[in-house]
């Protein structure tokens, strides 16, 4: 009797502890998106990647222990028009035959105060690896964790757009990246 | 003497030749650029084309207002049917001067490319992105352009006929720096 009592309260304690420190791990790709905006002759042109996989482990109680990886299927790009889609998978742009994916691996997360954070890590595209700092916000939406953030990627750092396309007066060097990731708590995975 | 005093007003002459020049630049540029493979050069030419075209649309507004509030010089003596054709041509030219750039603007929006005048001033999209509508408006822009091409041809032929064959002041009264 007594032992059962202790066991129960221990379980309750554990549960309470788990409720305080939820780790958001199960990314819902159907609710998540990876968008970007390029500037062509001063015209902002929106685009997105339809296929990507991402792993996240984020506990708002211990943000600095968080980690994430992201892998983008570059051929799934929508660059705003059919012409552009045909062009950007080619050799001078992403060269997807040789480099089908882009990858981001975090090396750390900084808490900036409030619900604002910063993910640090390395981005690899087309064989080039660069350090990236991506500020993001975290909020809880029901049981889910929602991450919204973005950063500016300089395409020439990764040789995205070679030859005549290196002309940044036609297509600007700066590409705005925006991500929206929805993840469920780790526990939900066991259901 | 009297025909010399019957010149077009300064603003009418300025608007006429400025718009004529812009159309003469936009038209061959449009034909040339659309067949190019995608390149930075193509992006640039498209933008120049759009900026020139939007300038026509912009100038069209004061031009039309001026025309509606000022009586142009009286037509010179000519057979009634010629006068009718000339007037009809002028009216249709006004219509296409408006519809050609408007269709270009709408096409650009439908294709998902906002027009940013001179690369700095974003012009609002009147319609949203839609592939089918973009294709349709492209056809419309082309068809209207061939209409414009035909009308301009007729208009120029008429002006030259008056100048060379009739030797009247029809063309001179629209020329800048004339008397
Ligand atoms: C007076 C004004 C204009 C003239 C005379 C003009 C003339 C033309 C001509 C001749 C073409 C080639 C059509 C063909 O392929 O047969 C063209 C294409 C085009 N025009 Fe215009 N245009 C004008 C204004 C504009 C404006 C204001 C815009 C957009 C803001 C525009 C956007 C385009 C585009 C995007 C194309 C290429 C269509 C394609 O091949 O995808 N135009 N234009």
Hey, where are the domains in chain B? 2-174
Domain that holds residue A158: 21-189
Domain count, chain A: 1
- Supply the pTM of this predicted model: 0.88
Look at residue B75 in the predicted model and tell me its pLDDT. 85
Q: Whose CA is nearest to atom 19 of ligand 1?
A: B30
Look at residue A2 in the predicted model and tell me its pLDDT. 59
Q: Whose CA is nearest to atom 28 of ligand 1?
A: B104
Which letter, b or e, does each residue of B6-32 get, where b requires 16 or more Cβ atoms within 10 Å of its Cβ?
ebbeeebbebeeebbebbebbbebbee
Mean pLDDT of A21-30: 87
- Architecture of domain B2-174 in this structure: Up-down Bundle (1.20)
| Phi, psi torsion values for A52, nearest 5 degrees | -160, 155
E strand or H helix at A74: none
Look at residue B1 in the predicted model and tell me its pLDDT. 39
E strand or H helix at A109: strand A101-113
Residue A152 lies in a domain: yes
Ligand 1 center–CA B49 separation, angstroms: 7
Residue A110 lies in a domain: yes
Q: Residue B136 pLDDT > 70, yes or no?
A: yes
Tell me how close the Cα of B96 comes to any Cα of chain A, in angstroms.
26
Q: Which residues of A touch B111 (CB under 8 A)?
A: 81
B109 Cβ closer than 6 Å to some ligand 1 atom: no
Cα B53 from Cα B107, distance rounded (Å): 13
Cα A97 from Cα A25, distance rounded (Å): 31
Cα B75 from Cα A33, distance rounded (Å): 65
Tens-place pLDDT, residues A119-177: 999 999 999 999 999 999 999 999 999 999 999 999 999 999 999 999 999 999 999 99
Q: Residue A4 pLDDT > 70, yes or no?
A: no
Residue A10 lies in a domain: no
Look at residue A55 in the predicted model and tell me its pLDDT. 92
Number of residues written out for chain A: 191
Cα B135 from Cα A4, distance rounded (Å): 73
Mean pLDDT for chain A overall:
90
Look at residue B177 in the predicted model and tell me its pLDDT. 80
């Amino acid at each position: 009797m007594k032992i059962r009592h202790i066991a129960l309260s221990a379980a309750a304690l554990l549960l309470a502890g788990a409720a305080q420190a939820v780790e958001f791990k199960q990314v819902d790709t159907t609710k998540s998106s990876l968008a970007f905006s390029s500037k062509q002759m001063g015209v902002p042109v929106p685009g997105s990647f339809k296929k990507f996989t991402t792993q996240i482990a984020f506990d708002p109680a211990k943000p600095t222990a968080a980690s994430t990886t992201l892998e983008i299927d570059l051929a799934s790009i929508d660059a705003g028009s059919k012409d552009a889609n045909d062009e950007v998978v080619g050799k001078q742009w992403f060269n997807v035959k040789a480099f089908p994916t882009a990858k981001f691996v975090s090396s750390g997360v900084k808490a900036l105060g409030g619900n604002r954070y910063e993910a640090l890590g390395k981005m690899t595209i087309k064989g080039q690896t660069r350090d990236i700092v991506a500020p993001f916000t975290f909020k809880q939406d029901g049981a889910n964790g929602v991450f919204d953030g973005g950063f500016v990627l300089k395409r020439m750092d990764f040789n995205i757009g070679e030859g005549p396309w290196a002309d940044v007066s036609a297509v600007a060097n700066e590409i705005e990246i925006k991500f929206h990731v929805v993840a469920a708590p780790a526990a939900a995975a066991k259901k | 003497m009297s025909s010399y005093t019957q010149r077009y007003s300064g603003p009418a002459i300025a608007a006429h030749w400025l718009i004529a020049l812009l159309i003469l630049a936009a038209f061959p540029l449009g034909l040339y650029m659309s067949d190019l493979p995608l390149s930075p050069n193509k992006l640039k030419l498209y933008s120049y084309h759009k900026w020139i075209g939007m300038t026509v649309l912009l100038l069209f507004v004061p031009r039309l207002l001026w025309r509606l509030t000022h009586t142009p010089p009286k037509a010179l003596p000519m057979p009634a049917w010629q006068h009718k054709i000339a007037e009809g041509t002028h009216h249709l030219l006004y219509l296409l001067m408006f519809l050609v750039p408007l269709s270009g603007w709408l096409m650009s929006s439908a294709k998902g490319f906002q027009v940013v005048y001179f690369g700095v001033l974003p012009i609002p999209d009147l319609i949203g992105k839609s592939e089918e509508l973009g294709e349709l408006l492209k056809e419309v822009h082309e068809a209207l352009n061939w209409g414009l091409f035909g009308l301009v041809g007729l208009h120029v032929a008429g002006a030259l006929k008056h100048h060379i064959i009739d030797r009247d002041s029809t063309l001179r009264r629209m020329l800048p720096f004339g008397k």
